[in-house]
Every structure is written in structure tokens, then in C-alpha cells.
Structure 1
């Protein structure tokens, strides 16, 4: 077993010294190495860490004294978060760490989200937190491959309950650092959004066709976190082109659903100059958590229960127009070509003519509003097809092939 992987262990050593040292000992006990980073403000660790709180604050362009003088714990920890993120990224680029694990309550978790977001996809990043999986964690702050472990019984001091969490976390981060196959960049990457094949099916035809053309295809499940991962990679410029055919998260956010990919959904590819093929898969539905009450704006709507976790509310014609305007507004500032494929016969399997959620009036209202609101920088392609028809996928491939031939999509 490899014994040369180094894990960055991060936390407030003035208040969690015992817990952090126990975590480090577990990593070393499995043959791993540790670099310690102290993100405390007021106190000091029992023994010096590899990276002191002073070094952390200075990495973010500030100082511990400035954090203390602020007189506000929130502001002070944001100083430390900025420094911790910058320092961790530098250590990774210098080849000094292979993974990171951060320990904390709400303060430490707030910092951990910034630190993990700063590291590239493929770097093992674990957060052991008393608030893991909590609704207070906004999806737009979660790194695409972040891993969270609930720190049960870990608010204050070591005990057998929290040792169980910490020891598992030590094994998880070290094992990940040893096993990870980081994303390769030997083929240009296509980012595609979709849902399962029961509602959207184009990826079944498109993925192998794009792979035959020499591209790698990553399909993202557009149910909040999948869209967040998609947007995170788009913001890094990771994609050669995107097939953003399931922008339902735009409507989710617009109508106050908790299943959101954040306010920048459908914005990052355009901002980074990535060519976009766009279609309105499931535009007519807004997802919400199935075991919670519907958002206020969606009460008394017809709903489709996908499972016990996920329910979809069906939008009326005026609401569909609102979604159309929101999507078009997202595309207006794109810095690369955008093609909008508008399937005039429906945009998910449940809204085909004769299907349970078919609404001819609503579909016409949406298509009309897209035609009115579509910005000048977007090429609108009206298709006499359903989004799940082969004709739709073939039209998308034809545009893509033209872009490749013209050099819009780099191969």
C-alpha cells in the first residue's frame, strides 16, 4: 500500500486540538502523512502546526491582528477562510498535499466550503462537520466533489462516539488520496445536463455519437447538486462545449424551490466563452422536496410524485412565460455562440400529446415567449419534433458538427 500520500488537516487548534491530533494520528497510523493547518484566531495549539494561523491570515492578504481588531467573529473567520483557501491551493500546486480534511462546527464548516471550492476537481476533499448535510449549506458553495461526514457527538471533546466518525474520516480521505483517478484532459470534455431516461432520453443517442467524434461526455443530473457541479466545472472553463438541455433548475430557483443549483445556474458557460447548445428540457416543471410542503407560489398546482424524495409541480402558461424570460436573460451575456433548440412538440416524456402532463396551451405560451424574448446573440432553431425524438438529437449533432468544422468548438 502506498505510504507517500499527504493529507492537509485543517481546523481551529485552539478549541479542537485533541480532536485534530486524534484525526492526524489515525491518518499516520494507516501509513499516511499529515500537514497541519491552524485556522484559529484567538488561541494557540498545544504544539506548533505546520502552517500557523499567522501564515494562514497572511496568505489571504491580511493578519491575525486585523481579524482580532475586527471585533466580529464572522468577519474574522472570513479572513481565515480566504487565507486557508489560498494556502491550500498553493500547497496542492506545489505537490505538498494529496488531499484535505477539515474539521469543524458551523464556523469551521463555513471556512471549509471556501477551502474545498478553491481546490480542483479530483483532489480528495472531506469535511467532518456537526452540520454535514444540513439545509443551511447552500448548494452554490459546495465543491463538485466535496465529501461530508457527520461529526456525531463532536461538539466538544473526544469520546467514543466522535472517535468513530473521526477514524472513518481518516480512512476515507487517505483511501481516496491513494485511489483517486483524477480527471484526464486527453480528450475535450462535453458537459450535458439531463434527468433519468423516463423523462429525458436524448443522452442515450448523443453520448455515443459525441464519443465517436473524439469527445468525452459527462452527464449531470440536474436536480440541484448536479447542476451545481456542472456550473462549477463551467466556471473553471473545463468544457469544450455544453449541451445544457435540462435547465429546470433555473425555474426551481425562480420559484423558490429548495432544489436549486444557485442563482448562477446557466450563466458560467457563457461567461467563460464556452459554446452552448441549449434546450428547455422539463421547463414546465418545478421540483421540490417531496416530503416537504410545496413552495408558496406552487400550492394548488397539479403535481407529479417522482418518488418519496422528489415531486414536480406543473406550471401554468403565465409561469412558463416567466421561465422563458429567465432562461433568455441568462443567455443574453454569453461570450460565445449559443444555439437554442426549441422542440415544438414537447420538452419531456410526460408532456407528449396524450400523456398525463400534456398542456398544449402551456407549450404554445412558452414557445411564443421564447421567440419574443430570445436575445440577438442566440440562434433560435424551432424544431418540429419532441425533445426525445431522434430528429431533435440529430439537429443538435448537426449544429455541433458545424461548430467543430468552423473551429467554434476546439477539438
Structure 2
């Protein structure tokens, strides 16, 4: 018998629609386990397999306690954690094969539960808010979620809604039949994680080619606030033997409120996991904002229009010193070999002698902080190259090879 997929929604407002989707899945020989994340109302038009009372009890409280937990946000936060833990347990027990979250704003509870499923496990989020006008982070997290815009609100079974649900059911059936979960890393795997933005494409491409010559496979992650975290998670899970963290701008956006914010753990997890890494500060001289969303207090800074959607904002000298201190503090936690390489001829494409971001004094503040605060056993090498120079990419690859080889021999 096929394993079921988790079908997660607030059934007091989405019951008939979820019942329809459940039945379409069944028509395609895909069983489901329906999980109700509603908090206040009772299910309408459907009987869940796991009720909201069941989830509350699973979390160690009663439904009444959940309903009176404080603010609505408090109750949603609790229910979100309950369904995360419940779905994680279903997966660990090999009782589900995938999941679908359906809803409006409340879909983030089900989506968060889907994020716990490994890469390759089919995951679908269906929501009217998945339109590009809302942040996709709550839907996607750092994994391979398929997001479907429902076009219409999920309130009624009209021709548009049923078409979307029919196709979601077909997508799930197809992924279950023809897809596969990310396999465990082979003992012979030599995958190296790498971070990149458009500002470092040329150099990282050269590094990837050089790694291939040396017998490694470079796996590139877009350093957009999600890519760095995804790389770190895969390193922790054993899928990467090492990392060339070439493009580390995500730590800057966490300071400035830019959209490439990877959170406070960025640059810690690889080292804590005992994975060797070569780290460069490419692109720490800017943060990224939507072109129409530069904070008023920052509009006197040097700006660079990367494309019609995104504008880059120069990191101030004081922030560069702060970023250097963060760099050192987090790399100091590493339990594996680390090497830091700092290019001195510009950290991004607009940072050239005739470019709008050229500020050697500010960049020197970063380097001074790193040197002052980094553990003495972690080597810092400065090189007279630009961050996007292919020669620097090849140098970073060679540095990783030397670091990794030395560790293997020790």
C-alpha cells in the first residue's frame, strides 16, 4: 500500500476545499492523512484524521488551553510547533511520503511542518498569498517546496479552484511516482559547497572549474538569505566534505535589514559541524534592498542599481568594522580547519577605483577587525586581486584543496 501524504489546513475555514483535494488524491491512488491546524472553530465539511484537539494533546496541553494561550499569535505559534513536531514524527516513523499545506495566512503553519521533510520528499504549498506580493520565505524555508498560487481565495469550489486542486493532486502523484528523495552521501563523494551572487559569478565559476580539475564537485548556492543557510544545513547533514564560503554578504543584510538576511547563525554552523572551510568576504561591502524600499536614513549612502528590482547599498566604515568582528567571532567557533582570504582590490563589482563603492579605508576597517579578533591559528591571507577575478577563484579552490588534504593526512 502507498504511504499517505500529510494534508494540512485550518479546517474550520478550508474544510470543503481540503475534502475535494483529498478525494482527487485518492482518485490518483494517493492516500492522505488530514491534519487540522484550526484553533477556534470546528471542521466544516470534513472529518480530519488528526483533529486540532489531537494536536494540542500531542503538544501537552488541551485545546481549551491552546485557545486561551494569550494573543492569536501566541496560539498560532503553539499550533505551528505542534504540527511541525507531529509531521516530523510521522516522517521519522515512515508513515508519510510527502505533504500538502493549504490555506491563506494560516498556511504558514503547515508550510513550516513541510520544511522538516528532507530534500526530494514531495512538498506543495497552495495559497492565494503565494503571488509574489508576499515574502516566499515562510512557504519555502530552505528546502524544495513547490508553491502554487491558488489564483482565487480558498473559499468555495469554483472551476478555477478545482483546476488548481486537480493539478496539485496530479503534481503530487507524479512526484511520488517518478521523483526520489535526496540519497545519503556516498563515501566517495567529494562535494564542496560554494556561495555566489551575480557579483561573484566569474570568480566562483573559475573556482568550480578548478575544483573539478582537483577531483572535487563544486555545488553552488545563491547567497540570497536562503542559499547560505541551505548550504550550512547540507554540510551539517554530511552532504558536503567542505565549503568555500566565497560570498558572505548574508551576514551584512542581517545588520542592515536587507533582504538577503540569513539570520544570526550564518557563518557558524559549518565550523561547528567540523567541516573545513575557506572563507572570503566577497560582497560584504553592500546589502540588498528592493529598489523602492531603501530606508530613508540610508539614502545618502552610495547606491548601485543591480537591476530594476534590486539596489545595492554600500556598507559604512563602522559597519565594516562590525562585520569583521562578526566574521572573526563566528569563525572562531570552528572545530575544523579554516582559512580566510581577503582580496584587497575590491569586494564587489561596483568596488573598483572608478566605482561607486570604492572605499579602501572602510574595507581596511573590516580587515583590521578580522585580524584583531580571529584566533591566532586561523590564517588570514590578503591578495591584491578583485573579488570577481577568476584568478582569485582558482586561488580559493587551491587553498581548499591544500586545507582538505592536510586535514585528511593528519
| CA distance in 2 between partners of 1:118 and 1:250 (Å) | 24
Residues 209-246 of structure 1, C-alpha deviation per residue, up to 9 Å, x if partnerless? 33454543321111223334334434545432111111
- In 2, the alpha carbon distance for the partners of 1:117 and 1:301 equals 37
Give the match's secondary structure for 2:257: coil
Aligned to 2:196: 194
**1:201 aligned counterpart, secondary structure:** helix
How big is the shift at 1:100?
0.6
Name the structure 2 match of 1:82.
Answer: 81
| Preserved CA contact (<8 Å) 1:344 1:367 | no
SS at the partner of 1:346? coil
Indicate the SS of the match to 1:279.
Answer: strand
Contact 2:229/2:262 (8 A) holds in 1? yes
Which residue matches 2:248? 247
**Residue in 2 aligned with 1:322?**
322
Q: Which residue in the other structure is 1:22 paired with?
A: 20
Residues 56-84 of structure 1: CA deviation (Å, up to 9, x unaligned): 33444444354245365433333332232
**1:34 paired residue number:** 32
Structure 2 partner of 1:392: 392
Assess, with a 3 A threshold, how the Cα gap between structure 1 residues 104 and 391 changes in structure 2: closer, same or farther.
Answer: same
5+ residue gaps, structure 1: none
- Structure 1 counterpart SS, 2:13: coil
| Mapped partners of 2:200, 2:397: distance in 1 | 20
Rounded Cα–Cα distance in structure 1 between residues aligned with 2:73 and 2:212 = 47
Report the Cα offset of residue 46 of structure 1. Answer: 4.6
Q: Does 1:176 align with 2:175?
A: yes
Match of 2:342, SS state, is strand
Q: Is the Cα–Cα contact under 8 Å of residues 139 and 260 in structure 1 kept in the other structure?
A: no
1:16 match: secondary structure: helix
Instruction: Tell me the alpha carbon deviations over residues 175-233 of structure 1, each in whole angstroms, 9 at most, x when there is no partner.
Output: 3333334333222432210113x644222222233345454332111122333433443
Question: Aligned equivalents of 1:16 and 1:189: distance in 2?
Answer: 43
The superposition leaves residues 130-149 of structure 1 with CA deviations (integer Å, 9 ceiling, x where unpaired) of 33245466569813222322
| Conservation of the 8 A alpha-carbon contact between 1:403 and 1:409 | no
Matched-pair contact (CA < 8 Å) for 1:256–1:295: no
Structure 1 71/382 Cα, relative in aligned 2: closer, same or farther at 3 Å? closer
Quick one: distance in 2 between partners of 1:28 and 1:314? 54
Is 1:156 the counterpart of 2:158? The answer is: no
Output the TM-score relative to the length of structure 1.
0.85
Task: Spell out, residue by residue over 1:73-129, the C-alpha distance to the aligned partner (whole angstroms, 9 max, x if none).
Answer: 4333333322322222232333332221011222x3231232022211221221112
Moved more, 161-170 or 218-227: 161-170
Residues in 2 aligned to 1:72 and 1:387: alpha-carbon distance in whole angstroms: 48
In the alignment, which residue of structure 2 is the partner of 1:383? 383
Instruction: Give 1:402's aligned residue.
Output: 402
TM-score, scaled to structure 2: 0.86
With over 3 angstroms needed to count, the CA separation of the structure-2 counterparts of 1:199 and 1:388, relative to structure 1, is closer
Question: Alpha carbons of 1:286 and 1:119: their partners in 2 closer, same or farther (altered >3 Å)?
Answer: same
Q: Which residue of 2 aligns with 1:104?
A: 103
Q: Provide closer, same or farther for how the CA distance between residues 374 and 407 of structure 1 changes in structure 2, counting only shifts above 3 A.
A: closer
| 2:181 partner SS | coil
Structure 2 CA distance for aligned equivalents of residues 59 and 216 of structure 1? 43
Cα distance change, pair 319–82 in 1 and its aligned pair in 2 (3 A) = closer
For 2:377 and 2:170, how far apart are their aligned partners in 1? Answer: 50
Any conservation in 1 of the 2:303–2:356 contact (CA below 8 Å)? no
CA contact (8 A) 1:103 1:129 kept: yes
| Residue range with higher mean Cα deviation, 292-301 or 223-232 | 223-232
**How many pairs align?**
405
Q: CA deviation at 1:355?
A: 4.9
Distance in 1 (CA, whole Å) between partners of 2:193 and 2:62 is 40
Give me the CA root mean square deviation. Answer: 3.1
Match of 2:112 in 1: 114
> Cα deviation per residue 1:40-65 (whole Å; 9 max; x = unaligned)?
34524655433343443344444435
Kindly tell me: are residues 9 and 171 of structure 1, through their superposed partners in 2, closer, same or farther at Cα, counting changes over 3 Å?
same
Q: CA deviation at 1:16?
A: 1.8
What is the SS of the residue equivalent to 1:301?
coil
Aligned equivalents of 2:293, 2:85: Cα separation in 1: 41
Shift of 1:22: 0.9
Instruction: Answer whether contact 1:249 1:261 (CA < 8 A) is retained.
Output: yes
Instruction: Tell me how far apart the structure 2 counterparts of residues 110 and 144 of structure 1 sit (CA, whole Å).
Output: 14
Asked if 1:334 is matched to 2:334, the reply is: yes
Cα distance change, pair 209–144 in 1 and its aligned pair in 2 (3 A): same
Match of 1:272? 273
Matched, 1:259 2:260: yes
| Alignment CA distance shift 1:203-1:137 (3 Å) | closer
